[in-house]
Amino acid sequence: MKLLQYLNTEQLESYGNNGYLVVPQFLSVKTVDSLRKAAADIIDDFDASDVSVFSTKNQIDRSDRYFLQSGEKISCFFEEDAFNDQGEITTEKAFAINKIGHALHDLHPKFKKTSYTCELKKLMSDLDYKSPVIVQSQYIFKQPKIGGLVKPHMDAAFLFTEPISCTGIWIAMEDANIHNGCLYAIPGSHKVHTLTKRFIRDSITASATKFEQLSEEENWDTKKAVPLEVKKGDMVILHGKLVHFSYENRSKASRHAYVMHLVEGEYKWDAKNWLQRSEALPFKKLNEEVA
């Protein structure tokens, strides 16, 4: 029998069946508050004139070098609905940012300390990872009243290895519920659906992205989705092929989250991935970073 280091047998079985697992209080309130302060400081220092809007609805049209270079930088992306028809920001900067990404875990001391931990190492071992690698991190704001829709998707469509090994680690920086845009997931969808497309870097221009169709699109029955309401500090583990999404946030409360995506370092990182690292900042194996 496998010796588990972090999860228990019931948790591992639930994750295997559903494709997601909520782990209460993965981070302490003190640690969460420290990350929230760090994110706020990043926004304060951000030059709002360097605008790049992130959208899961039409990322193809809005991709640019700023987005592609963010794989090894700390970059800020605005909410689409933070602008009027004239392209002017309609709210103060702190409430206009969609997310910060995608190398917080490697470039920011507080996020790095929180990302490369013994707890995460043990957790990934329980999920049968030999050499887990954190390939991207994001601080997501889901702003009050303008927080955008995240359409149903599989994370493995955006970060892929051969074979597929993507796992999402989603940590609530605030309570998340059906009112402020919590995650929704289709239980068991990771076992019945296949990867039909991949979000790739355009090999011709190398400065744009597109979707590569792998097979005919499947119909995902979102009526079967369940809300994943969690408390501040809770973690949600997401299988790379799990179909999940979140609705717009039209409430008066934000829904901050810190998100990491990991892959198996022993597998091939596909050259078509939009996210590529240069020799100046190579991917780091979790096992080698954590003593």
- 41 lies in a domain? yes
In DSSP notation, the chain reads ----SSS-HHHHHHHHHHSEEEETTSS-HHHHHHHHHHHHHHHHH--TTS--B--SSSHHHH--HHHHHGGGSEEEEE-GGGB-TTS-B-S-GGGTEEEEEE-HHHH-HHHHHHHS-HHHHHHHHHTT-SSEEEEEEEEE---TTTBPPEEEE-GGGTS-EES---EEEEEESS-B-TTTT-EEE-TTHHHH----EEEEE-TTTSS-EEEEE-SPPPPP-GGG-EEE-B-TT-EEEEETT--EEE--B-SSS---EEEEEEEETTSEE-TTBS----TTS---BHHHH--
Q: Which domain holds residue 63?
A: 9-278
The number of folded domains in the chain is 1
Does residue 45 form part of some domain?
A: yes
**Which of residues 55 and 149 earns the better pLDDT score?**
149
Q: Is residue 34 part of a domain?
A: yes
Give the CATH number for residue 240.
2.60.120.620
Answer yes or no: is 123 within a domain. yes
> Domain for residue 256, yes or no?
yes
More confident residue, 63 or 128: 128
- The answer to whether residue 290 sits within a structural domain is no
| pLDDT tens digits, one per residue of 115-144 | 999 999 999 999 999 999 999 999 999 999
Q: Is residue 288 part of a domain?
A: no
Mean pLDDT of 81-92: 78
Q: pLDDT tens digits for 232-247?
A: 999 999 999 999 999 9
In the chain, pLDDT over 90 holds for what percent of residues? 81
Q: Is the pLDDT score of 64 beyond 80?
A: no
pLDDT category, 59, cuts 50, 70, 90?
very low
* Tens-place pLDDT, residues 178-223: 999 999 999 999 999 999 999 999 876 667 888 999 999 999 999 9
Position 262 in a domain: yes
Check pLDDT > 70 for residue 52: no
